[in-house]
Amino acid sequence: MDIKQNIKTLIVKKPLKLDCGQTINNFPLAYETYGSLNNEKDNAILVFHALTGDQFVTGINPVTKKDGWWSYAVGSGKSIDTDKYFVICANVIGGCMGSFGPSHENPKTKKIYGTDFPVITINDMVNAQINLLDFFGIKKLFSVVGGSMGGMQVLQFISNYPDKAKTAIPIACTSSHSAQNIAFNELGRQAIAADHNWSDGDYNSKNIVPDKGLAVARMAAHITYLSKKGLQEKFGRKLQERDDLKFGFDADFQIESYLRYQGSVFVDRFDANSYLYITRAMDYFDLVKQFNGNLSDAFKNTKAKFFIISFTSDWLYPTQENKDIVIALNAIGANVGFVEIESDKGHDSFLLNVPDFLKALKNFLDKSYEEKHL
Amino acid sequence: MKPEYKIISDLIEKDAKVLDVGCDDGTLMEFLKTNKNANIRGIEISKEKVQICIAKGLTVIEGNAEFDLKQFPNDSFEYVVLGQTLQAFINPETVIRELLRVGNKAIVTIPNFGHWKVRLNLLFKGTMPITNSLPHDWYNTPNIHMCTIKDFVRFSKIINFKIFKSLALINENVSDINNSNLIFKNLFGELGIFLIEK
């Protein structure tokens, strides 16, 4: 079965000038929607996905046959209630779920782009997605929401299009990618590049996949999404289907087995070059620098109501980095609420069943939706 | 709803921009929103209380007033309200200065430690007073800097801020405090409510 038949795609005709200088046009933007747009067209929420997410937010992902990445938060009666709101999510450009990315064919060379694909940025991603508003005839979104890289897109979106959303919810993110986060991303990229199959990005033409490298990249990254306490409680030093150590290098410990599994399932659904491109986009994200050191200037033209959420055990995008955004918003008298959610599930908390988080998200959205005077 | 909320509300002009420091479950915020159409924000230290405020649709920041007022520029608000928490801060002087930096005016309420019940409690029992409004033991109280109405009036002279209006709450009735009745109000007032300026 061709998976593409399950993917809705908008061909963006309008030229898009990328930060790298290149201009693209007639490029595909794959998207999915949930719920229905009301007559006033004022109930739309644009959800931005994180590094390895895609447009299939909830329900069964038709390609992977697994639950959508934000099934806890989005759906009928859930925090982002699809009975009430029209949820749109697009695969980011540079991604590998149908949107214009490095696994696409370069029309000029008739070859797969690979690393000839232009380097894209968070800015490019949101500038591509703004086209969805015109497509659906939406003048103003009710909300823009996203965690991690999705949160960065929320910030960039509001900065670029200050009057296109009534509310904005950046979750577990940052306004400027930290050295530690760039370091982890570089580790992942080097793991991919060290895989002989990667072939300088040209693995498609050889019909091979740098699956070992990509799996290691995923394993390393996965550790950063969890917390020490969470790992200790879930795995501790528990052994994997054995009563004692085997004095070898098989997966003796459950945590090893778990990471290997995470790595192996990831390579089935993700493209190695996309991983390079998207991590690069995150590394380049620096909204503070874009506004010459004054983050407040990024938001000075917006009346959007912000709600910023962080998690106690998130050491990848720690509370302080989220709070810096709150501070920048308060400095210009913007309407901003903030809560740090208690959770030992690390950065991944926003994707998991963390009731306090899901409750806060739901309450903020539903109460804001009631306020018609916004 | 606490009886002083109505009094606080009467001190605030319509449509004013207000910050409620230590906004608790947002009851006062809601009251000011409904009655004064206030553009109101809150800071609250307790995660649970912040959640309650969000559920009420209020804009609240989780934070500690002693450290997090810093992020607001000068004169961000017309009024800053500090309800019955001045005594819980490590450095009340800094907090008062911050309130008056962030707001044009501040409304500060203090549980009066000079109330006759408190005085009798200490006089006859010889132990730290425990009353309805001060229910903690000395070793677990968050109230580390208790003061009286008279102390607060003196404080205004020491650290140099103006008391624009001072009111005492006695049996849910409100009355003005002035120089001639200060001794009396300091004995019978359960709560002092002060509208202050730089």
Q: What is the pLDDT of residues A59-109, one digit of tens each?
A: 999 999 999 999 999 999 999 999 999 999 999 999 999 999 999 999 999
Helix (H) or strand (E) holding A16: strand A16-17
CA of B74 vs chain A CAs: smallest distance (Å): 9
CA of B106 vs chain A CAs: smallest distance (Å): 18
Note whether A225 and A346 are within 8 A (CB): yes
Cβ–Cβ gap B54/A356 under 8 Å:
no
Could you identify the residue written with the tokens 């091979």?
A208
Cβ–Cβ gap B47/A339 under 8 Å:
yes
Cβ–Cβ gap A339/B62 under 8 Å:
yes
- Mutation target to probe the B interface, by most B beta carbons within 10 A, among A338, A341, A373 is A338
Question: For chain A, what percent of residues have pLDDT higher than 70?
Answer: 98
B62: nearest CB among A338, A363, A364: A338
User: What's the CA gap between B86 and B108, in Å, rounded?
Assistant: 8
Nearest CA in chain A to B39: A335
Does residue B68 surpass a pLDDT of 70? yes
Give mean pLDDT, residues A131-135.
98
Nearest CA in chain A to B68: A327
Q: How many domains does chain B have?
A: 1
Cβ–Cβ gap B51/A370 under 8 Å:
no
Q: What are phi and psi of A255, to 5 degrees?
A: -65, -35
Catalytic residue among A314, A343, A348, A349: A314
Cβ–Cβ gap A367/B76 under 8 Å:
no
What is the pLDDT of chain B when averaged over all its residues? 95
Q: Is A159 considered catalytic here?
A: no
User: What's the CA gap between B44 and B81, in Å, rounded?
Assistant: 12
User: What's the CA gap between B18 and B29, in Å, rounded?
Assistant: 9
pLDDT band at A1 (very low <50, low <70, confident <90, very high): very low
* Token pair recorded at residue A358: 């899901």
Nearest CA in chain B to A338: B61
A370: nearest CB among B57, B72, B73: B57
Cβ–Cβ gap A339/B54 under 8 Å:
yes
Q: What is the pLDDT of residues B98-142, one digit of tens each?
A: 999 999 999 999 999 999 999 999 999 999 999 887 889 999 999
Number of H helices, E strands in chain A: 11, 14
Instruction: Residue B76: name the closest of B30, B31, B41 by CA.
Output: B41
A327: nearest CB among B17, B58, B71: B71
Note whether A201 and A259 are within 8 A (CB): no
CA of A320 vs chain B CAs: smallest distance (Å): 12
What is the pLDDT of chain A when averaged over all its residues? 96
Does residue A29 surpass a pLDDT of 70? yes
Q: What is the pLDDT of residues A163-174, one digit of tens each?
A: 999 999 999 999
Question: Backbone dihedral region of A110: left (phi > 0), alpha (psi from -120 to 50 degrees) or beta?
Answer: left
Instruction: Residue B143: name the closest of B151, B133, B153 by CA.
Output: B133
Which chain A residues are closer than 8 Å to B74 by Cβ? none
Q: What is the pLDDT of residues A317-374, one digit of tens each?
A: 999 999 999 999 999 999 999 999 999 999 999 999 999 999 999 999 999 999 864 4
Which residues are within 8 A (CB) of A263 and not within 5 positions of it... i.e. 6 or more apart? A214, A215, A216, A218, A219, A222
- Mutation target to probe the B interface, by most B beta carbons within 10 A, among A169, A311, A330 is A330
CA of A330 vs chain B CAs: smallest distance (Å): 6
Does residue A239 surpass a pLDDT of 60? yes
Q: Is A148 considered catalytic here?
A: yes
Give all strands (DSSP E) within A49-160, no chain letters. 74-75, 80-81, 86-90, 105-106, 111-112, 141-147
User: What's the CA gap between B50 and B58, in Å, rounded?
Assistant: 9
Does residue A28 surpass a pLDDT of 90? yes
Q: Helix A254-269 vs helix A211-225: angle between axes, to the nearest 10 degrees?
A: 120
Q: What is the pLDDT of residues A145-193, one digit of tens each?
A: 999 999 999 999 999 999 999 999 999 999 999 999 999 999 999 999 9
* Token pair recorded at residue A92: 């980011």
Identify the CATH number of the domain in which residue B84 sits.
3.40.50.150
Which chain B residues are closer than 8 Å to A341 by Cβ? 47
Question: Backbone dihedral region of A113: left (phi > 0), alpha (psi from -120 to 50 degrees) or beta?
Answer: alpha
Give the model's pLDDT for residue A372: 65
Which chain A residues are closer than 8 Å to B103 by Cβ? none
Does residue A4 surpass a pLDDT of 70? no
ipTM of the predicted assembly exceeds 0.90: yes
Catalytic residue among A71, A79, A195, A347: A347
Give mean pLDDT, residues A11-37.
97
Could you identify the residue written with the tokens 């003196």?
B154
Q: Which domains does chain A have, with CATH numbers?
A: 3-176+286-370 (3.40.50.1820), 181-279 (1.10.1740.110)
Q: Which structural domain range is residue B128 located in?
A: 4-197
Catalytic residue among A148, A274, A310, A313: A148
Query: Kind of pairing, strands B77-83 and B173-176?
Result: unpaired
For the residues of B151-175, what is the DSSP string, one character each? HHHHHHHHTT-EEEEEEEEETTEEE
Which chain A residues are closer than 8 Å to B55 by Cβ? 359, 363, 367
CA of A100 vs chain B CAs: smallest distance (Å): 39
Which chain B residues are closer than 8 Å to A325 by Cβ? none
User: What's the CA gap between B29 and B93, in Å, rounded?
Assistant: 25
Give the model's pLDDT for residue A373: 45
Which residues are within 8 A (CB) of A21 and not within 5 positions of it... i.e. 6 or more apart? none
Question: For chain B, what percent of residues have pLDDT higher than 90?
Answer: 93
- Mutation target to probe the A interface, by most A beta carbons within 10 A, among B33, B44, B47 is B47
pLDDT higher at B109 or A2:
B109
Does residue A223 surpass a pLDDT of 60? yes
Q: Is A314 considered catalytic here?
A: yes
User: What's the CA gap between A76 and A72, in Å, rounded?
Assistant: 10
For the residues of A306-318, what is the DSSP string, one character each? EEEEEETT-SSS-
Give mean pLDDT, residues B89-106.
96
